[in-house]
Amino acid sequence: MKTNKPIRFFAILSLIAVFFSSCQKENFVDDKQNPFLLKNMPALIQGESLSVNLIAGQTFDAGDVVLSFDNENLYVDFVTTNGWMIDEVHVWVGTSLISMPQAGKGNPQIGLFPYKADNLGGVTYYRVIVPLSDFGGYDAICSQSYYVAAHAAVYKETSPGVFQTETAWGEGDRITNRGNWAMYFGFTFICEDVPTGGGCETAYALGATTFIQSGIGSNWGWIITIDTEGSFSAPIYAGAGQNNINNGTHVGTLNYDYFGGTLNVSFDMFSGFTMSETHLYASTSHPVTTAPGQYGNQNNLNAATSDSYTIQLSGSTPVYLIAHAVVCD
């Protein structure tokens, strides 16, 4: 009898462990059962951006979480609006929700998220850099789907000396059905050498400064600087990875002029090329992001051969431009 008691004791412990492990996993949204995971993965196209709302306290629009990537990193940008400020951020990225650090009831353990920053002191913009090497490198992530849980601790001053503090998440589906309201969203990496929409590629107008040189990003693309009034032009290149125009295709010309604070910009394609969208950054303030969706000016087009913008500025110089387009042949 004495020899049987330890066996029974450990057998019971094993059953309890299996039970709790099973319950914990059941609280997570099932990767195989949720149709969102399988059918509605938005594309994150290299050189472009994908954004979701940053929801604070389940009901407040506190800004956006913006994704972009290049050959080395995935960038997760937290951008707040409406007076909200960021004190800390936590980001998890993976191919299965089960691999997310979790506590009881399937609640995510944000303190164990691999990409994080705290004591930010109330900023309105913060970038989290996720190395693609963590997922096997650039070639391994192309055309693959991933999930993101993007958390922030935010606050805003509601009256002098009075602050409202909230938990915020990048908007999506709930991580667990029984625990807190934490959310996740998904996307699919579309690399620049993977055809998107029948031969469409990202394109930028050539400038004197690359994103890398300016310190705002490590993906390819250029900033144009206007130092004086006048009329100017710049070539537009598609698919010029690593800022090497020999790797790209000269698809058109950016024509622009600046007089008396009025900026006119025109995207003009060569024969055989059209545009499905354009994005334009134009300001006397230096850009802080490479994400086209944050440039402030954009048009969705239908096989357009030209597109134009007229923007009123202060009249001072320098003026900084980033001209981005999705070009199709």
Give the pLDDT of the chain (329 residues) as one tens digit per residue.
Answer: 333 444 343 344 444 443 444 444 444 444 433 434 444 689 998 878 889 999 999 999 999 999 988 888 999 999 999 899 999 999 999 998 889 998 877 789 999 999 999 999 899 999 999 999 999 998 889 889 999 999 999 999 999 989 999 999 999 999 887 778 999 999 999 887 543 445 788 999 999 999 989 888 878 999 999 999 999 999 999 988 888 888 788 999 999 999 999 999 999 999 889 999 999 999 999 999 888 888 999 999 999 999 999 999 988 999 999 999 999 97
Query: Quick check: do 29-190 and 200-328 share a fold?
Result: yes
The pLDDT of residue 96? 87
169/55 Cα distance (integer angstroms): 5
| Per-domain boundaries in the chain | 29-190, 200-328
Alpha carbon separation from 124 to 52, 251, 303 (Å, rounded):
16, 36, 36
- Asked if 204 and 322 count as a contact pair (C-beta separation under 8 A), the reply is yes
The pLDDT of residue 34? 44
The pLDDT of residue 265? 97
Secondary structure tally for the chain: helices H, strands E: 4, 21
- CATH domain 200-328 topology: Immunoglobulin-like (2.60.40)
110/64 Cα distance (integer angstroms): 19
Query: Which three-class secondary structure state does DSSP give residue 2?
Result: coil
63/154 Cα distance (integer angstroms): 11
Structure tokens at 59: 């009901």
Structure tokens at 301: 């087009």
The contacts of residue 214 (CB under 8 Å, 6+ apart) are 223, 286, 287
| CATH match of 29-190 with 2.60.40 | yes
Q: Which residue, 242, 202, 326, 200, is CA-closest to 71? A: 242
The pLDDT of residue 19? 40
